[in-house]
Amino acid sequence: MKKFISLKSIPAYLPIVNIDTDMIIPKQFLKTIKRTGLGKNLFHEMRYDNDGKVINDFVLNTKPFDRSKILIAGNNFGCGSSREHAPWALLDFGITCIISSSYADIFYNNCFKNGILPIILNEEKIKDLSEYAKRKEEIEVNLKEEKIIYGNNEINFKIDPFKKKCLIEGLDDIALSLEKSSHINDFEKKLKSSKPWIFND
């Protein structure tokens, strides 16, 4: 998993509440188990019309927001079914940070496992950032210092220390397990010595 330390990007503002995982990546695109290739279908029903043509006034279809790495969204982002394809689609599109006032719990935790930083801010701060986004200027998200810098302003945010460590060091669940590989090997050796019949073919 790619390490997340700091990020600079022009943020895209999507002022919709209760964006569920089916809106993020519709069910017809869930046939794959690959983490790549889903970005083109992110927010499919909002980005394309019934004939598959691009809807030009959707924020992620307009320059410079089509290259945004930071998404500012309405509250209760990622609600609905617990599909991990949702953070995969966001990540494949290039979005590595989401800012909202609240998230669905499963989606929130899935973000950290896939290298995405979901930041929780109150509605007043969300409004300030959304107004700044209209200027089409970069903001900086500094995870180490837990702050967002925009213009001459700063906003502090809080992240669970363990989740922060995992993002900064690029540790997903597999990498966390591999960190304990020496302990696992020692346990297996002791088990083979004390109970060798378990390992008989």
> pLDDT of 47-68, one tens digit each?
999 999 999 999 999 999 999 9
**Axis crossing angle, helix 161-169 with helix 105-113, rounded to the nearest 10:** 40
12 Cβ contact partners less than 8 Å away, ≥ 6 residues apart = 59, 60, 65, 68, 70, 71, 72, 133
**For residue 131, what pLDDT is reported?**
94
3-state secondary structure of 68: coil
Q: Cα–Cα distance between 113 and 41 in angstroms, integer?
A: 21
Other Cβ atoms within 10 Å of 66 Cβ, number: 15
For tokens 């394309």, the residue is 48
How much is the pLDDT for 94?
97
**Segment 77-113, tens digit of pLDDT:** 999 988 899 999 999 999 999 999 999 999 999 999 9
Tell whether domain 6-170 is in CATH 3.40.50.970. Answer: no
153 contacts 121 by C-beta, under 8 angstroms: no
Burial 14-51 (b: 16+ CB within 10 A, else e): beeeebbbbbbbbeeebeeeeeeebeebbbbebbbeee
pLDDT-derived band of residue 192, with 50, 70 and 90 as boundaries? confident
Predicted model pTM: 0.86
For residue 168, the tally of other CB atoms under 10 A from its CB is: 15
